[in-house]
Structure 1
Amino acid sequence: MSLSKSFRPTLRQSLRRLSRERGFTATVLLTLALCVGANVAMFAVIDAILIRALPFKHGSELVMVMNSYPGAGAPRIGSSVANYYERRGDAMDSFESVTMRQGGSAIIGEEGSPVRVPRDRVSPEYFDTLGVRLAIGQTFEEDQLLYENSSVVILTHEFWQDYFDGDPDVLGKELVVDQIPNRVIGVVEPGYKFLNNRARFFHPLASSLEDREPTRRHSNNIQMIARLAEGVSVEAAQDEMDRFNEAMLEDDPYAEMVRNAGYHTVVEDFRTEVVRDAKPILIILQAGAISLLAIGCVNLANLMLIRAKGKTKETAVRQALGAGRRHMAKESLVETILLAIGGGLLGIGVGAAGIRLFATLGADQLPMGTSISLDGRVMLVSLLGAIVVGAVLAVPIVIMNARRNLAPALQSESRTGTVSKGAQLARSVFMVVQIGLAFALLTGAGLLGLSLNKALQESPGFRADNVLTASLNLPWKTYPEHEDRLTFVNRLIGELRNQPGVKNVGFTGLLPFGGNTSNNATVVEGHELQPGDSIRAHYVGLAVGEYWQAVGIPLVEGRYLEDADREEGVRVCLVDTAFAERYWPDGSAIGKRIAMDVELNEENVMTIVGVVGTIKQTDLTEEVPQGTVYQPYSLRSNRYFHIAISSEMAPESVSGILRNTVQGVDPELPVDDVRVLQNRIDDSLLARRSPAILAAVFAGVALLLAAVGTYGVLAYAVGERRREIGVRVAIGAKPEQVLRQFLLVGGKLLAIGVGIGVALSWGAGYLMKSVLYEVVPFHLGILAVTAAAMGVIVLLASYLPSRAAARVSPLVAMTDE
Structure 2
Amino acid sequence: MHPLIPFADFRQILRRLVRERGFTLTVLLTLALCIGANVAIYAVVDAVLVRALPYPEPDRLVTAVNAYPGAGVERAGSSLPNYYDRKEAIKAFASTSAWQGGNAIIGGTGNPRRVSRDRVTPEFFATLGVPLAMGRTFTEEEMFYKDSARMILTDAFWRSQFNADPEVLGKTLIVDSLPVTVIGVLPPGFRYLSSEAQFFVPLASSDDDRKPDRRHSNNMQQVARLAPGVSLEVAQEQINALNAQQIADDPFASLLKGARFRTDVYALHADTVREIKPVLLLLQGGVFFLLLIGGVNLINLLLIRASGRTKELAVRQALGAGSGHIAGEVAFETVLLALGGGLLGLVLGAVGVRLLGTLGTDQLPLGANITFDARLALISLGGSLLLGLLLSLPIIWFSLHSRLAVVLQTESRGGTVSRAAQRLRHGFTIAQVALAFVLLSGAGMLGLSLQKLIGTSPGFRPEQVLTGNIALPWKGYPENEPRLAFMERLLAELRVQPGVLSAGLVAGLPMGGNINNSATSIEGQDPAAAETVRAHYMSPAAGEYWQAMGIPLLEGRYLEDADNHRDLRVCLVDQDFARRYWPGQSALGRRISSNPKFDEKEAFTIVGVVGSVKQRELAETAAQGGIYFPMKANYTPNGFTVVLRTAMEPTALAPMLQKVVLKLDPELPVDELKPMQTWIDESMVARRSPALLAGIFAAVALLLAAVGTYGVLAYAVNQRRREIGVRMALGALPGQVRAQFLGLGAKLLLAGISLGILGAWGAGRAMQTMLFGVGSVHPGVLAVTAVVMVTVVLLATFLPSHRASRVSPIEALRDD
TM-score computed with the length of structure 1 as normaliser: 0.98
Candidates 486, 491, 511, aligned match of 1:493: 491
Q: Size of the alignment, in residue pairs?
A: 815
Query: Which residue type is aligned with residue 342 of structure 1?
Result: G
CA distance change for structure 1 residues 3 and 468 in 2, over 3 Å: closer, same or farther? closer
Deviations 1:463-521 (A, max 9, x none): 10100000111111111121111111111111111111211010110111111010122
Query: Post-superposition shift, 1:306?
Result: 0.9
Deviations 1:389-446 (A, max 9, x none): 1112222222333358411122333426343111111111010010011101111111
Candidates 283, 287, 290, aligned match of 2:288: 290
1:87 aligned onto 2:112? no
Q: Distance in 2 between matches of 1:462 and 1:416?
A: 73
Which residue of structure 2 aligns with residue 655 of structure 1? 654
Which residue of structure 1 aligns with residue 133 of structure 2? 135
Deviations 1:162-198 (A, max 9, x none): 0000000000001110110011000011111122210
1:275 aligned onto 2:281? no
Which residue of structure 1 aligns with residue 192 of structure 2? 194
Map 1:277-426 to 2 at 5 A.
277-403=275-401, 405-415=403-413, 417-426=415-424
Which residue of structure 1 aligns with residue 537 of structure 2? 539
Which residue of structure 1 aligns with residue 119 of structure 2? 121
Deviations 1:514-547 (A, max 9, x none): 1101012201112244747343211110011100
1:724 aligned onto 2:723? yes
Query: Which residue type is aligned with residue 675 of structure 1?
Result: K
Query: Post-superposition shift, 1:294?
Result: 1.2
1:62 aligned onto 2:61? yes
Query: Which residue type is aligned with residue 218 of structure 1?
Result: H
Which residue of structure 1 aligns with residue 811 of structure 2? 812
Which residue of structure 2 aligns with residue 237 of structure 1? 235
Which residue of structure 1 aligns with residue 560 of structure 2? 562
Q: Distance in 2 between matches of 1:66 and 1:396?
A: 52
CA distance change for structure 1 residues 253 and 488 in 2, over 3 Å: closer, same or farther? same
Deviations 1:739-784 (A, max 9, x none): 1111000001000010110111111111111211110111111111
Query: Post-superposition shift, 1:625?
Result: 2.1
Which residue of structure 1 aligns with residue 26 of structure 2? 27
Which residue of structure 2 aligns with residue 641 of structure 1? 640
Q: Distance in 1 between matches of 2:540 and 2:5?
A: 81
Candidates 594, 597, 601, aligned match of 1:596: 594
User: Which deviates more, 770-779 or 404-413?
Assistant: 404-413
Q: Distance in 2 between matches of 1:325 and 1:536?
A: 74
Which residue of structure 1 aligns with residue 71 of structure 2? 72
Q: Distance in 2 between matches of 1:209 and 1:301?
A: 72
SS in structure 1 at match of 2:194: coil
Q: Distance in 2 between matches of 1:23 and 1:549?
A: 65
CA distance change for structure 1 residues 3 and 48 in 2, over 3 Å: closer, same or farther? closer
Q: Is the 8 A contact 1:155 1:201 kept in 2?
A: yes
Q: Is the 8 A contact 1:261 1:533 kept in 2?
A: no
1:786 aligned onto 2:790? no
Q: Is the 8 A contact 1:73 1:537 kept in 2?
A: yes
Q: Is the 8 A contact 2:460 2:550 kept in 1?
A: yes
Candidates 167, 171, 192, aligned match of 1:169: 167
Q: Is the 8 A contact 1:527 1:583 kept in 2?
A: no
Q: Is the 8 A contact 1:63 1:228 kept in 2?
A: yes
1:470 aligned onto 2:468? yes
Q: Is the 8 A contact 2:2 2:328 kept in 1?
A: no
SS in structure 1 at match of 2:41: helix
Which residue of structure 2 aligns with residue 764 of structure 1? 763
1:102 aligned onto 2:74? no
Q: Is the 8 A contact 1:153 1:201 kept in 2?
A: yes
Deviations 1:695-718 (A, max 9, x none): 111111111110010000000000
Q: Is the 8 A contact 1:466 1:676 kept in 2?
A: yes
Map 1:144-223 to 2 at 5 A.
144-223=142-221
Q: Distance in 1 between matches of 2:402 and 2:630?
A: 91
User: Which deviates more, 252-261 or 796-805?
Assistant: 252-261
Query: Post-superposition shift, 1:8?
Result: 2.4
Q: Distance in 2 between matches of 1:306 and 1:3?
A: 25
Q: Distance in 1 between matches of 2:442 and 2:783?
A: 13
Q: Distance in 2 between matches of 1:708 and 1:374?
A: 31
CA distance change for structure 1 residues 37 and 480 in 2, over 3 Å: closer, same or farther? same
Q: Distance in 2 between matches of 1:205 and 1:309?
A: 73
Query: Post-superposition shift, 1:254?
Result: 1.2
Which residue of structure 2 aligns with residue 737 of structure 1? 736
Query: Which residue type is aligned with residue 208 of structure 1?
Result: S
User: Which deviates more, 150-159 or 391-400?
Assistant: 391-400
Query: Which residue type is aligned with residue 385 of structure 2?
Result: I
The percentage of aligned residue pairs carrying the same residue is 54
Q: Distance in 2 between matches of 1:570 and 1:138?
A: 51
Candidates 512, 520, 523, aligned match of 1:525: 523
Query: Post-superposition shift, 1:369?
Result: 3.2
Which residue of structure 2 aligns with residue 682 of structure 1? 681
Deviations 1:322-381 (A, max 9, x none): 333222222111110110110111111111122112111111111123422222222112
Q: Distance in 1 between matches of 2:566 and 2:483?
A: 13
Q: Is the 8 A contact 1:71 1:533 kept in 2?
A: no
Q: Distance in 2 between matches of 1:499 and 1:571?
A: 31
Query: Post-superposition shift, 1:793?
Result: 0.7
Which residue of structure 1 aligns with residue 701 of structure 2? 702
Query: Which residue type is aligned with residue 757 of structure 2?
Result: V
CA RMSD of aligned residues (A): 1.4
Q: Distance in 2 between matches of 1:417 and 1:703?
A: 32
Q: Distance in 1 between matches of 2:784 and 2:401?
A: 45
SS in structure 1 at match of 2:151: strand
Q: Distance in 1 between matches of 2:548 and 2:402?
A: 84
Deviations 1:611-664 (A, max 9, x none): 000011110010012111100012221100010011122211111111111111
CA distance change for structure 1 residues 80 and 313 in 2, over 3 Å: closer, same or farther? same
Extract unaligned runs of 5+ from structure 1. none
Q: Is the 8 A contact 1:258 1:534 kept in 2?
A: no
Q: Is the 8 A contact 2:511 2:616 kept in 1?
A: yes
Deviations 1:184-231 (A, max 9, x none): 000011111122210011110000101111111111111111111111
Which residue of structure 1 aligns with residue 15 of structure 2? 16
SS in structure 1 at match of 2:205: coil
SS in structure 2 at match of 1:603: helix
Which residue of structure 2 aligns with residue 582 of structure 1? 580
Which residue of structure 2 aligns with residue 481 of structure 1? 479
Q: Distance in 1 between matches of 2:5 and 2:103?
A: 67
SS in structure 2 at match of 1:134: coil
1:666 aligned onto 2:665? yes
Which residue of structure 2 aligns with residue 548 of structure 1? 546
Query: Which residue type is aligned with residue 779 of structure 1?
Result: H
Q: Is the 8 A contact 1:439 1:761 kept in 2?
A: yes
User: Which deviates more, 102-111 or 620-629?
Assistant: 102-111
Deviations 1:131-161 (A, max 9, x none): 1121100000000000000001100110000
Q: Distance in 2 between matches of 1:298 and 1:503?
A: 61
Query: Which residue type is aligned with residue 366 of structure 1?
Result: L
Q: Distance in 2 between matches of 1:604 and 1:530?
A: 20
Q: Distance in 1 between matches of 2:678 and 2:577?
A: 27
CA distance change for structure 1 residues 554 and 101 in 2, over 3 Å: closer, same or farther? same
Which residue of structure 1 aligns with residue 248 of structure 2? 250
